[in-house]
Amino acid sequence: MMEQEVLIRKKQRQEIKYSDVLKMALMLKEGDINKLVRNLQGRGDSHLKEAVIVEATEPTRLQKLLLTGPIWTDKQYKEVLEAREHFNRFRT
């Protein structure tokens, strides 16, 4: 009986667009996405062996600050390095 069910399912298999699968996968909870990736990796498909489990979490406040915070220009960075060098010489 099980073999018949498998054959029926194979006959009823429909083509699903990758974009539709991706949309459905992104609607899953974080833990379920990780389970899905592990399940696909366990199938032995060589192209999935390199897949990385990505946690879909909001960035922390620190991450947001680091990603959007101010940056130094090359000139400012050079000035800081020169100042550190001066302080290091002064301390010794």
Residue with more model confidence, 66 or 59: 66
Enumerate residues 6+ apart whose C-beta is below 8 A from 33: 25, 26, 53, 54, 56
By CB atoms closer than 10 A (0-12, 13-18, 19+), residue 37 is middle
pLDDT tens-digit map of 18-59: 888 888 888 888 888 888 888 877 766 555 555 555 555 677
* Whole-model pTM over 0.95: no
Q: Where are the domains of the chain?
A: 2-91
